[in-house]
Chain A
Amino acid sequence: MSATRIEVKDLVVRYGDQVAVNGVSFTVGRGEHLTLLGPSGCGKTTTLRAIAGLEQPSAGSISIDGQVMYDGSKRRSVPTEQRGVSMVFQSYAVWPHMTVFDNVAYGLRVRKQGTDELKANVERALDLVQMRHLADRGASKLSGGQQQRVALARAIAFSPTVVLFDEPLSNLDAKLRAEMRVELRELQRRLGITSVYVTHDQEEALAISDRVIVMNVGVIEQIGTPEEIYNRPRSRFVADFVGSANLIKGRPVGDGSFAAEGGVTLKVSVVHKPTGGETEVAVRTAYIDLEARPGDNHVPGTVRQRLFHGDFVQYVIDSAVGPLIVRRPPTNLLDEGAAVTLSFSPDHAVLLEV
C-alpha cells in the first residue's frame, strides 16, 4: 500500500454563482495529522465536507486509499456512508435522544457488529476519552466538554482509517480547549489515525498538526509543517494570518539584499524563486531583538509605546523602515522614548511572494 491515504486533486466546489473552493490539491499521508487553516469563508470546511461526501463538488477528484470517492470528469460519487471516513462535527452532533453508549455504538450497529464485540469496542472508545462512567447517561444531560468527548469516542469507535474534524474545539471555553488540544494530539498519535482537521485558530493549528494548509478565498496559500509556515511564510496573507509579523516595504536588489523604505538595506532570506517584483519582507514580532547581535540586520529606532500583556511585552518602535511591533519577554522593560537598535537575523526576514 502506498503512503498516501487521501488525495484531493483540483477540487472545485460551487454554490450557485459562488466558488467556495477553487482548485485545491493536496495529499494526506498514512497516520498524518493535517490541518486546514484559514479565516471563515475560506473554503476549509467545504473542502472537509467534500472529502466526507457531505458536499457535492463541481470538479476535481478525491480518492481515499487509492479508491476514487469522487471524480468530476467521470461524474462518479460514492455516497457518504460508503466512504469509510468518520467525522467530528463543530456542533458535536451528539444525538440527544440516545444514551452515551448508544451514540458511540451507532457506527458499530450500522456495521452489524455482534453484541459482545460491540460492547467491548464501545467501552474501549469510552475509556479513551474517560467517559465510561457516563455510558448510561442520556446525551442531552451532558456538558459541552462531555459532549465533545462522546463525539470523539463515537468517531473512533468503529476504527475508521480516516477521521475528519470540523472545528471540534471552537465551542469550548479557552481553558478546556487547551486541555482537549493536548488530549486530541495524544489520542491521534496513540491510535495512528489519519486525520484532517479544520480550524480558524492558528495557535491550535500550529500546536497539533504534522502539516498545515493555509487557505484563503477558496485557494491554498501555503502547505508546510507548522515551523515552515511560521518561519517561512510565502505570502503576505500567511505572514499576517499565522502568528504576528511586521511587513517592511521596499524592493529586492539581488543577492539576498532588500532595499527597504527609509534607505536601509537588509539582508533577507529568499525561499522561492525570486521574480524581482516583490515588495515586502515579513519579520515575526517575536524574532526581533532590541539589542544589536552580530550578523543581524540592525535598524535604529525609538520606543513609541509599551503595552504590558503579562506573558510578553509589546513595543511599538518608530524606526527608519517605519513603525515596527516587537514582542519581548516581560523582563528588562524599556521605557517609552528610549533609543534602541532593532536586530533580526536574515533568516527571519522573509521575502514574500507577490
Chain B
Amino acid sequence: MSILVDKSTRIICQGLTGSAGSFHTDQCLLYGSQFVGGVTPKKGGTTWKGEKSGKELPVFNTVSEAVKATGASASMIFVPPVGAADAIMEAADAGIQVIVAITEGIPVLDMAKAKRFLKPKPRTRLIGPNCPGVITPGACKIGIMPGHIHKPCGPGEKGVGVISRSGTLTYEAVFQLTALGLPQTTCVGIGGDPIIGTTQIELLEMFQNDPQTSAILMIGEIGGTAEEQAAVFVSKSVTKPVAAFIAGQTAPPGRRMGHAGAIISGGSGSAKDKIAALERAGIEVAPTPADLGSAVQKAMARKK
C-alpha cells in the first residue's frame, strides 16, 4: 500500500512540450511511472517523444480531451505561473483526481481563487504548487525528485511516509532514511507557497490510515501556523511515531526566505513556536538537518 499514487496511476503532463515538462516526464517514464499523454494548447494531435526513454505520448489541446482519450486520473503541471492556476482548475474540472502542481511563482490571489474552485470537488486532490511532487518509491514518480535516492518497501515491508514543504531538503531527508535502511511508502512535497492544496493534516491522516506506513517524517519551515495545527492533530489522532524538522530557526522576521510562504509575520510563524508545539505533541524534533533520519529512528524507538 501507499497513498495517493501507485503502479496503476495513469498520468498526463500539462505543459508536456515545454523544456521542463518534457525533461521531467521523460525522467518519470524512466522511473516506471505510467504517463499516458500530455496537454499543450495548440499542439493537440501531435506526438511527443521522450529523449531518453524513447516513449511516445499523444498531445491534446485540453485536459478534458486527454482524460476522455486516455482515462488519466492524475496530472503533473509544469505550466508557467501566468497560466498555472487556470491549469489546476482545468484539471479539476476534467475530473483529474490527483493534481501535482510543480510550478513555482504563482500569484497568491490566483491560488486563492483556484483553491475555492476546488472546494466543491472533494474527490480532487491538489498537491503543491511550488513543490517537488509525489513519489511512491519503486512504483510511481510524479515530479522532479531524483528517484534513485528513494528506497521502495520490499514485499510485506513497512516504511516511512514523508511530508515536506521543501524540495532539496526533502531529498536530504529521503537520502538519510535510505542510508539508514528505512524504506519509504510515499513522499509528498506539499509546496512552499502560502496557499497550497493538500495540507499536513490531510496527509497525516492518510499515512495514519495506510497499513504499510509505520512512521511519519514531517519537514516544515517558518511561516503560517500549519505545523502548529498539525501538531494538535498528531496528539489527538495519530498513533504512529512522528518525527519532524523545522527549517528557518535563524531566519530574520519579516523576510521571505526564498519560498513565498516562508516568512515570519506579525509574531506568528517562527521556528521556535513550531518546534515547541511539535514537542508538546510528543513529536521527535530533529535538532539539525543532519539528524532527519535518526529522528525517525528515535521516534520509532520511543513508541515501542
B is a partner of A = no
Seen from chain A, the residues whose Cβ lies within 8 Å of a Cβ on chain B are none
